[in-house]
Amino acid sequence: EDKVVQSPLSLVVHEGDTVTLNCSYEVTNFRSLLWYKQEKKAPTFLFMLTSSGIEKKSGRLSSILDKKELFSILNITATQTGDSAIYLCAVVKGAGSYQLTFGKGTKLSVIP
Amino acid sequence: DAGVTQSPTHLIKTRGQQVTLRCSPKSGHDTVSWYQQALGQGPQFIFQYYEEEERQRGNFPDRFSGHQFPNYSSELNVNALLLGDSALYLCASSWTGSLAKNIQYFGAGTRLSVL
């Protein structure tokens, strides 16, 4: 059975801290891994990673994939209160599969 | 450019009733997927529609059915509602012709409460 596990499940940090969110996966025929940010309802797309070892970066957020060890990390530097959200990791399989398989998410709370 | 829109925003039903949720995909997208998100959980895949056909289905009973229209919009129908169907229902769209076709863009969801 396909599995996506995120850790920690929740995290409280102060503004300015750097955080690392983890996502490990066990799926057959892996194709790509996606990160989403869910603030109220709609998950918003952050990154898609397909190749191992290549960092994707957008402002203070960055992510990298390790296909050998089957995990990805999402880093947020200089956190702001607006970063408070649930961060979801999802995996896409190849071979004609179209669904996203999500982890439970990491709830990040950034306090002033 | 409108993103993915869903209606209604909230819905309250009683056990045994039937419900229809609606989704309009992002402009230019041709594929619609539906997910169920229970409290404290990640979204669970229900099914995906492309070219007005169900292309893939997750582990959900036949009480969950859907439809896609020629304009790519979609409906999710749930029959014989159970208390356990209470959840946030998310619609996501994507474009099959894109190199980034695996990126799905989500709407704000419909919050369904079954009493």
Q: What is the residue extent of each domain of chain B?
A: 5-98+105-114
Partner residues linked to B112 by β-bridges: B11, B87
> At a CB cut-off of 8 Å and minimum separation 6, what does A17 contact?
A79, A110
Calpha distance A105→A89 (Å, rounded): 7
For B29-49, write each residue's pLDDT tens digit: 999 999 999 999 999 999 999
> At a CB cut-off of 8 Å and minimum separation 6, what does A8 contact?
A21, A22, A106
For A64-110, write each residue's pLDDT tens digit: 999 899 999 999 999 999 999 999 999 998 877 889 999 999 999 99
Interface membership of B44 toward A (CB under 8 Å): yes
Closest residue in B to A42 (Cα) is B108
**Least CB-CB distance to A41: which of B50, B88, B104?**
B88
Interface membership of B56 toward A (CB under 8 Å): yes
CATH code where residue A7 lies: 2.60.40.10
pLDDT of residue A1: 83
Range of the domain at A14: 3-111
CATH architecture of B5-98+105-114: Sandwich (2.60)
For A9-29, write each residue's pLDDT tens digit: 999 999 999 999 999 999 988
Q: Which residues of chain B have pLDDT under 50?
A: none
